[in-house]
Structure 1
Amino acid sequence: MSRKTNQELTPWQKYQKQQKEQQRAQSSVFTKARPKRIGKKLSKLRKQQNWKLFWKMGSLIVIFGAALLFIIYLISPLSHIQSLKVSGNQALSDRSVLSSAGLKKGDAIFNVLGQEKALTQRARSKNVKIRSLQVSISHLNHVKVHITEYKTAAFLLHNNKYHVILESGVISKVGQKQPTGHYPIISRFKKQSTTHKMISQYNKLEKSVQQNISEIRFAPTKSNPMRVHLFMNDGNEVYATLTTLAKKMAYYNSISTEMKQNGVINLEVGAYSYPFK
């Protein structure tokens, strides 16, 4: 039996036929478009995965490359101190400074980098004359060490030997037969605490007054157990109280210039002078 033509179909049959034809057309469109969409998504996904893989591989190469370069640097001469230069030292030799700081040529440069505080503490513990220490590095492995020394304040005469007294108040344990330089001699001080008080007062004096002092003797009396006797380079002598020495000696220059001849200046109570008898 042959198919019916459109003229023989009822309106309802025509409508159903049109609906089926539209559904077939839409189905064919979606069937053709779907592979294209999926293909685009797969291509984009592959590109993203390739980029992620590229970045991971690149990061690993950079990390391992940096590690390799660091290892090569560690075993190369560049990571070790090639030269050491000391500056700022006057009383101490270069060798003494470097030995106190624990530095020597050939040491790893990492023993210096960021270790200035530790090096200073080590140097000061080994040598009381070292006040501070600064370290700088140039040309990767050339080290410069600049130090500040505690200056000599005076010499302490003890058991017929002269011991250096630093401005910090530290007294050298090793004595010498004769003093060096133009520093005052401190004598007859039996207690270390009294000696430290003397050094503290001396450090407060003006430079011109310090340079004019030849010797300071501890000379206590019943009325003044802290009396000190000073012998000046200009020929005068001074009696003063240890605890007020720096304050009273501020008037020394003005009093000495009014004296017609050398004599004694008494600063224990008030301030007055009289010529030698």
Structure 2
Amino acid sequence: MSENENVKQFDSKYLKAKRIARRRKQRRIQFIVFGILLLFIILLLLYMFTPLSKIKEVEVKGNDNVSTSEIKKTVNVTNRSRMYTFSTKKAAKKLEDKTLIKHANVHKQLPNKLIVDVSEYNIVGLVKKKDDYVPILEDGKELKHLSGSASNGPVLTGFSKGKKQDIIDALNKMPSNVRAAISEISYEPTKGSENQIKLYTSDDIQVLGNIRTIAKKMKYYPQMTEALDRDESGNLKRNGYIDLTVGAAFVPYSENDDDQSDSEKNVKAGSEHEDKAKDELQETLNKIDKNKDKSDDKNN
């Protein structure tokens, strides 16, 4: 046998052995893939047809006014509810059909947990109905079925339908801590200003404002009250009110106010009081207002 024939025969054996090794490797890979697939199917069947897939826990987030138990009742998870058949879209739709819930997101977390994340409409105020107080949502709806419920919103008095929606929109734009500091808002227009309102705060400071601008200006109410001069007990050294109708100013009451009844000490306006407001308190408040305007200009 010639040398070339020996080489060819060797090459043929080598290639044949290589093909056999390749086939064996492919079979091993196929067996591994098949084994993994079979194991996955077995685990899936075990999960689907055993208590493992039943929803065991419902976690609720973002709710303040709607109770957790009420949300869970609406989602309606039963002993038969399973993760792979439960419709999160239907559950979210049921939640959003409730008056207080603005948006709901329901999603699953393996192995058997349901997470419900809701955002609610703000309760921005209260209106008196007969002998009770009814909460009002940011969209203007009155929650008569929740009358008597505690709320941090101010009591609205004297507002017509259109003006009431205007003040509701303004309240919804205010930070929650500022809104909670307002105990009452009354609509008291004058010949010169049909949008004039009076705010009564929980720290006994009256605020005169305009419906159109009150939301922007009241954002700075915490800084305004801190700027006012107080004694060691925290009481104002000079009684007065904050005027936000034009700019921002602290206007002291006249000296005769001490002899008047509380009802006569309501918010006042006039040249006499405006002249007395030219003090450090007013300058501080005006500085806050100017900084606000500069910030607004930059944002725009």
TM bracket (short chain): 0.5 to 0.7
Residue 185 (structure 1) shift? 0.6
The aligned counterpart of 1:230 is 199
Task: Tell me, yes or no, if the aligned pair for 2:104 and 2:116 is still in contact at 8 Å.
Answer: no
Task: Tell me, yes or no, if the aligned pair for 2:182 and 2:200 is still in contact at 8 Å.
Answer: yes
Residues 1:215 and 2:187 aligned together: no
Give me the whole-angstrom Cα distance separating, in 2, the residues matched to 1:248 and 1:51. Answer: 76
1:70-219 aligned at under 5 Å gives the runs 70-86=44-60, 89-101=63-75, 103-104=77-78, 106-110=80-84, 123-129=95-101, 137=109, 140-143=111-114, 145=116, 149=120, 151-157=122-128, 162-166=133-137, 168-178=138-148, 180-181=150-151, 183-191=153-161, 194-202=163-171, 210-219=179-188
If you compute each CA radius of gyration, which structure gives the higher value, 1 or 2? 1
The aligned counterpart of 2:211 is 242
Length, aligned pairs only? 244
Distance 1:49 1:180, change over 3 A: closer
Task: Tell me the percent identity.
Answer: 20
Give me the whole-angstrom Cα distance separating, in 2, the residues matched to 1:40 and 1:182. Answer: 87
Give me the whole-angstrom Cα distance separating, in 2, the residues matched to 1:33 and 1:269. Answer: 105
Give me the whole-angstrom Cα distance separating, in 1, the residues matched to 2:108 and 2:216. Answer: 42
What code does the residue aligned with 1:257 have? Answer: L
Give me the whole-angstrom Cα distance separating, in 2, the residues matched to 1:179 and 1:35. Answer: 97
Give me the whole-angstrom Cα distance separating, in 1, the residues matched to 2:158 and 2:126. Answer: 12
- 1:79-116 CA-to-partner distances (Å, cap 9, x unmatched) read 12123344664432222122445555542224789x6x
Unmatched 5+ residue regions in structure 2?
Answer: 230-234, 265-300
Residues 1:62 and 2:36 aligned together: yes
What code does the residue aligned with 2:95 have? Answer: A
What code does the residue aligned with 1:155 have? Answer: L
Residue 66 (structure 1) shift? 1.9
What code does the residue aligned with 2:142 have? Answer: S
Residue 73 (structure 1) shift? 1.6
Task: Identify the range of structure 1 (88-97 vs 229-238) with the bigger mean alpha-carbon deviation.
Answer: 229-238
What code does the residue aligned with 1:92 have? Answer: V
What code does the residue aligned with 1:197 have? Answer: D
Give me the whole-angstrom Cα distance separating, in 2, the residues matched to 1:57 and 1:268. Answer: 81
- 1:8-34 CA-to-partner distances (Å, cap 9, x unmatched) read xxxxxxxxxxxxxxxxxx56x888887
What code does the residue aligned with 1:141 have? Answer: N
Distance 1:130 1:94, change over 3 A: farther
- 1:54-81 CA-to-partner distances (Å, cap 9, x unmatched) read 4334433432332232122211211121
Task: Tell me, yes or no, if the aligned pair for 2:55 and 2:77 is still in contact at 8 Å.
Answer: no
The aligned counterpart of 1:259 is 238
